[in-house]
């Protein structure tokens, strides 16, 4: 399954639908330019493998991936495995602070300089909801402002 059909990001949605209709079907994601969130979304949708086109050296690698998922194993290329481990580490660190997935998402947006109204527009949530999330982030990280929150988050590996 390619993540992008004709430039549209529908591979995750298609994977979820396939798994809902045919739960025993194994899906391997085969893509060229994954986003950082694609691996997690693919796993949530039910994918069993993740191949990056630039890392596939030959057809034997594809065959290995097919055999692995057919036998019930997962298959990840090196970069996908590295990203998976990074995400697991990040999630374990964020759980130490009790941050929700949404709070980490907002913290990442704060780190790239987004203000509350921009976060609100980007995520399609109410402005008050954004403000509540920011307040919760500051409280959970035990900091006084957004700059300190980003500093702690980077120091502790919650964000890059």
pLDDT digits (tens, 9 = 90+) for 89-110: 766 766 678 898 899 999 999 9
pLDDT score of 127 more than 80 = yes
| pLDDT, mean of residues 61-67 | 94
| pLDDT, mean of residues 68-92 | 85
pTM of this structure: 0.59
Are the CB atoms for 54 and 32 separated by under 8 Å?
A: yes
- Rounded CA gap, 72 and 83, in Å? 21
Q: Where are the alpha helices (DSSP H) in the chain?
A: 11-21, 38-45, 59-70, 78-97, 101-111, 116-123, 127-141, 146-155
- Rounded CA gap, 36 and 6, in Å? 20
**Among the listed ranges 29-38, 45-54, 99-108, 112-121, which one has the minimum average pLDDT value?**
29-38
Residues of the chain with pLDDT > 90, as a percent, come to 55
**Comma-separated ranges of CATH 1.10.10.10 domains in the chain:** 98-155
Which CATH architecture does the domain made up of 98-155 adopt? Answer: Orthogonal Bundle (1.10)
**Comma-separated ranges of CATH 3.40.50.2300 domains in the chain:** 4-86
What topology does CATH give the domain 4-86? Answer: Rossmann fold (3.40.50)
């Amino acid at each position: 399954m390619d993540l992008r059909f004709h430039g549209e990001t529908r591979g995750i949605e298609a994977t979820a639908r396939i798994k809902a209709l045919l739960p025993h079907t194994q899906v391997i994601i085969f893509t060229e330019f994954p986003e950082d969130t694609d691996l997690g979304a693919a796993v949530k949708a039910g994918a069993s493998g993740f191949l990056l086109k630039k890392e596939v050296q030959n057809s034997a690698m594809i065959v290995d991936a097919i055999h692995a998922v057919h036998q019930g194993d997962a298959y990840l290329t090196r970069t996908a495995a590295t990203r998976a481990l990074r995400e697991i580490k990040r999630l374990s660190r964020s759980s130490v602070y009790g941050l929700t997935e949404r709070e980490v998402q907002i913290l990442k947006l704060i780190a790239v300089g987004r203000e509350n109204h921009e976060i609100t527009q980007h995520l399609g949530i109410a402005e008050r909801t954004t403000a509540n999330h920011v307040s919760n982030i500051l409280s959970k990280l035990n900091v006084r402002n957004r700059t300190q929150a980003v500093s702690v988050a980077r120091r502790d590996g919650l964000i890059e």
